[in-house]
Amino acid sequence: MVRWVRNQRAQNRLRIDDTAALCGVSGDLLSRLENGKSVTTEKLLAVLQSLGLRMLIVPAGDVPWIEAALSEHRATLDAQTQPDPSKP
């Protein structure tokens, strides 16, 4: 989760204070979240929603096939965004 929040902020080229203001939380809270420290669920969800992220809770038994499907989807997206080496 920490990685996703930080990556989303970096992709949008936002400073931590700007992101915190956008999310309606303090810069200290966002920093704690990005560093894996404890924050309330309410604040976590506010940050995720503001950054266009969602948290999905699934039964543990479903995790392997969900991870496999996501991995396959990412590979497909990566293949689509890679330049074709046969084209100059």
What string of DSSP letters covers 3-54?
HHHHHHHHHTT--HHHHHHHHTS-HHHHHHHHTT----HHHHHHHHHHTT--
pLDDT of residue 88: 67
The string of pLDDT tens digits covering residues 34-56 is 999 999 999 999 999 999 999 88
16 within 8 A of 34, measured Cβ to Cβ: yes
Distances 68 to 4, 22, 30, 54, 80 between C-alpha atoms, Å: 18, 33, 30, 19, 19
pLDDT of residue 64: 92
Q: What is the mean pLDDT of residues 4-29?
A: 93
Residue spans of the domains in the chain: they are: 2-81
Looking at the domain covering 2-81, what would its CATH class be? Answer: mainly alpha
pLDDT of residue 81: 82
Written as one letter, the residue type at 12 is N
